[in-house]
Each structure stands twice: as structure tokens, then as C-alpha cells.
């Protein structure tokens, strides 16, 4: 299905901060890119040379479940930039507060 790109700026649809001057379609596109990047990172961790360190960690299954939920949610955005901005912020928090510390802890066990 073809959708017409929403060229309104974030501020025109009630968004502030880093989204205020970004076109709505770009906010949605960026959310899709963020989920793709997160998925790529998790797959690389899982199947990379040290994958066993990550797969065997107690929180790995939960991280995978969160990634799956992010992917499902991004596919249901239907062009909604407000929801896309909220999802992007949530993914950013997940990366900095969960995934990055998880990777650091796993790498610490390797040493």
C-alpha cells in the first residue's frame, strides 16, 4: 500500500526537543532504522565469535523478547510520528540502560 509522506514538522504535530524540526515521515523512518540497527546488533552478539557469552546469560532471553516487541511495534506505526518518537526514545533508553551494560558485563566475564 502506498502512503503519502507526512511532511509536517514534529512541532506541528506536538513534538518538542530533537523531534521539533524533523519531518514526520523522517521520524517514522528513523524509528524503523533504529529497530533494524538494534536487531543487527543483537544478532551480531548472538552469532558472533563470543555468542555463547551472551546466549547463556540470564537476561538474554528477555533482551530478545524486548527486541521482538520493538519490531512488532514499529511495524504497527502506520506513519504515526508521535508514536514513532516515543518508540525511538524507549529504544534509546533500552540500549543505554539495558543492552550496553549487559554487553559490558558479558565482556567483563570474558576477560
pLDDT in tens, 36-89: 999 999 999 999 998 999 999 999 999 999 999 999 999 999 999 999 999 999
- Check pLDDT > 90 for residue 4: no
User: What are the grid coordinates assigned to 46, written together?
Assistant: 548472538
Q: What pLDDT, on the 0 to 100 scale, is given for residue 37?
A: 98
The number of beta carbons lying within 10 Å of the beta carbon of residue 100 is: 11
CA distances from 26 to 44, 73, 79 (A): 26, 17, 10
Q: What pLDDT, on the 0 to 100 scale, is given for residue 108?
A: 81
Nearest to 18 by CA among 67, 70, 84, 98: 84
Are the beta carbons of 15 and 89 closer than 8 angstroms?
Answer: no
CA distances from 6 to 27, 80, 81, 93 (A): 10, 9, 9, 26
Q: What pLDDT, on the 0 to 100 scale, is given for residue 22?
A: 97
Q: What pLDDT, on the 0 to 100 scale, is given for residue 10?
A: 95
- Check pLDDT > 90 for residue 107: no
Cα separation, 76 vs 19, whole angstroms: 20
Amino acid at each position: 500500500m502506498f502512503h503519502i509522506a507526512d511532511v509536517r514538522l514534529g512541532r506541528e504535530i506536538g513534538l518538542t526537543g530533537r523531534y521539533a524540526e524533523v519531518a514526520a515521515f523522517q521520524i517514522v523512518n528513523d524509528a524503523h532504522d533504529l529497530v533494524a540497527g538494534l536487531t543487527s546488533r543483537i544478532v551480531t552478539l548472538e552469532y558472533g565469535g563470543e555468542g555463547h557469552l551472551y546466549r547463556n546469560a540470564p537476561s538474554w532471553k528477555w533482551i530478545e523478547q524486548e527486541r521482538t516487541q520493538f519490531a512488532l511495534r514499529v511495524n504497527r506505526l502506520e506513519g504515526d510520528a508521535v508514536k514513532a518518537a516515543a518508540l525511538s526514545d524507549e529504544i534509546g533508553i533500552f540500549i543505554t540502560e539495558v543492552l550496553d551494560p549487559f554487553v559490558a558485563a558479558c565482556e567483563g566475564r570474558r576477560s
